Amino acid sequence: MDCVKLIAKYNGLGIAEVIDHDKFNLIAIDHHSTRIEGSTLTEIETQVLINEGRTPNGKPLQESLMVTDHHAALLFTIRNARAKNKLSVTLLQQINALVMKSTGKVYNTMLGTVDSATGAFRKGNVTAGVSYFPNFDKVERLTGDLVAKLNDEMGKPLSVEEQLNLSFDAHFNLVSIHPYYDGNGRTSRLLMNYIQAYYNLPLANVKSENKAAYIQALVDTRAQENIQVFRDFMNREYASLLDKEIEKFEEMNKPSKGGGFTFLF
């Protein structure tokens, strides 16, 4: 089943209206996005941290700070999207600053000092694995061009499929510019969520267990200069997420002799 049909089924079942569904969906996004970047917190530990403020025993404090900062950035992103606040370079920098609030580092370069907790653009060149990113002196212009392109597209009437593809394209293009020293992946995934929330779509989540396939999709898209490669990967992730949510919801509401619940004693 394609993503558009899955969205229609998901909305038709009223899954998003279930009490606390939104809260736990956002926590799942926090969990997987930070796991991709190195956090070792489990999903249960992430839930307890966000809901109760309790850090897990034996885990580095920095990992808990990464999660709580991501949650604040996600709430900020969703709030701006639902208020229909226009996308801007400043808004992206604010999101990145929230992502890196407690874990950002100071970088001393020949062109000056950059505090990565402020959302400032990088002043040096960077690589990640086999990928090289645009020279630092192009970052500000490229980020501005991307924001202008996204605003232009969002000003047009788009089908649901086009809205989804726009969110995936934004994700790919921002992470490929790599405008910051730190937090590029998290900020790019939040930009994707911003566009999805703007259009009241269910929010996408890249599962941390699929990290290798995710990185490979980014690399292959750049190598082939074909955005459809990344779109296909994200559509599979998105369809899998919606499928599982629908399956869980239908299983809990399935008519049965016991009324859909079995006592375990």
Which CATH number does the domain housing residue 84 bear?
Answer: 1.10.3290.10
Per residue in 25-73, pLDDT tens? 999 999 999 999 999 999 999 999 999 999 999 999 999 999 999 999 9
Which pLDDT value is given to residue 131? 79
What are the binding residues?
182-189
How far is it, in rounded angstroms, from Cα 99 to Cα 181?
12
Residues in the chain: 265
How far is it, in rounded angstroms, from Cα 223 to Cα 200?
33
State yes or no: pLDDT of 259 exceeds 90.
Answer: no
State yes or no: pLDDT of 256 exceeds 70.
Answer: no
Question: Domain for residue 253, yes or no?
Answer: no
**More confident of the two residues 146 and 256:** 146
Question: Domain for residue 178, yes or no?
Answer: yes
State yes or no: pLDDT of 224 exceeds 60.
Answer: yes
Question: Domain for residue 254, yes or no?
Answer: no
**More confident of the two residues 184 and 255:** 184
Rounded average pLDDT over 198-220: 97
Q: How confident is the model at residue 129 (pLDDT cuts 50, 70, 90)?
A: confident
Q: Give the rounded percent of residues in the chain with a pLDDT score beyond 70.
A: 97
Which pLDDT value is given to residue 19? 76
How far is it, in rounded angstroms, from Cα 109 to Cα 181?
12
What are the binding residues for ATP?
182-189
Per residue in 58-114, pLDDT tens? 999 999 999 999 999 999 999 999 999 999 999 999 999 999 999 999 999 888 899
Question: Domain for residue 9, yes or no?
Answer: yes
Which pLDDT value is given to residue 261? 66
Output the six-digit token pair for 92. 């992206």
Alpha helix segments (H runs only) across 100-226: 136-154, 160-177, 184-198, 211-224
Question: Domain for residue 23, yes or no?
Answer: yes
Question: Domain for residue 259, yes or no?
Answer: no
How far is it, in rounded angstroms, from Cα 217 to Cα 86?
29
Domain total in the chain: 1
Residue numbers annotated as active site: 178
What is the domain extent for residue 110? 3-247
Which pLDDT value is given to residue 254? 76
State yes or no: pLDDT of 192 exceeds 90.
Answer: yes
DSSP 3-state assignment of 160? helix
Which pLDDT value is given to residue 54? 94
Question: Domain for residue 43, yes or no?
Answer: yes
Which pLDDT value is given to residue 45? 97
Q: How confident is the model at residue 263 (pLDDT cuts 50, 70, 90)?
A: confident
CA distances, 244 to each of 10, 20, 145, 251 (Å): 10, 17, 37, 10
State yes or no: pLDDT of 16 exceeds 80.
Answer: yes
Question: Domain for residue 142, yes or no?
Answer: yes
